[in-house]
Chains A and B, each alone.
Chain A
Amino acid sequence: NAGVTQTPKFQVLKTGQSMTLQCAQDMNHEYMSWYRQDPGMGLRLIHYSVGAGITDQGEVPNGYNVSRSTTEDFPLRLLSAAPSQTSVYFCASSYSAGLGEKLFFGSGTQLSVL
């Protein structure tokens, strides 16, 4: 059971560089989302998708882009990395976007922007 797979596990970028964090799920889940986790703060929603071709902004979307061309994949793009984007990023999915549905998380990507 792969569940939610995130790559890479670790990444170091220089300010201004761009990159894509990959996320794939094999559970045929409708809902997918990206969160960032910073010390002393709860997980914060960046972007989410309720199905292929449908995406929307979360609480902290600035500096990030997403797309969802298939049910399985939901990549997160950093357009021009900034030190403030140093964080641990989690991709999560759930069967639907219903009330308080259980989230299945990937193992995270630790990103450092120098």
Chain B
Amino acid sequence: KNQVEQSPQSLIILEGKNCTLQCNYTVSPFSNLRWYKQDTGRGPVSLTIMTFSENTKSNGRYTATLDADTKQSSLHITASQLSDSASYICVVSSGGYQKVTFGIGTKLQVIP
């Protein structure tokens, strides 16, 4: 069964600090991996996509990494801001939409 596990489940950091969120997956065959940000009371919004051949990709203060050999991805947030408070969801695709597997998410809280 395809699975996506994220850690930690929740995280509290001070404004301005960095943090790293982890995603481990057992999805086969692997097509790509996306990170979504979900603000409270809103739908998820795509941050970045990682394909099999990509190791690192940045989107502003967000940097995603992918190790396809160990089936791990991370999302690093630099110089956190209060607006980064949200849930971050790792989503792995193994084909068409009916084969997308969502992680539970990591709930990040940035405090002043």
Q: Which residues of A contact B (CB under 8 A)?
A: 4, 31, 33, 40-45, 48, 56, 58, 90, 92, 94, 97-103, 105-108
Contact = CB atoms under 8 A, between A and B. Distances in A.
Nearest to B30: A100
A100 B32 contact: yes
B45 to A, nearest CB: 7
A48 B97 CA distance: 8
Contact of B104 (A31, A42, A48, A107): A42
A105 B31 contact: no
B98 interface: yes
Contacts of A90: 43-44
A99 B42 contact: no
A42 B89 contact: yes
Interface residues of B, number: 24
Interface majority SS on A: helix, strand, loop or mixed?
loop
Given A33-B97, A45-B98, A103 B104 contact: no
B43 A99 contact: no
B101 interface: yes
Contacts of B105: 42
B100 interface: yes
B104 A40 contact: yes
Contact of B96 (A44, A99, A102): A99
Interface in B40-95: 41-46, 49, 89, 93, 95
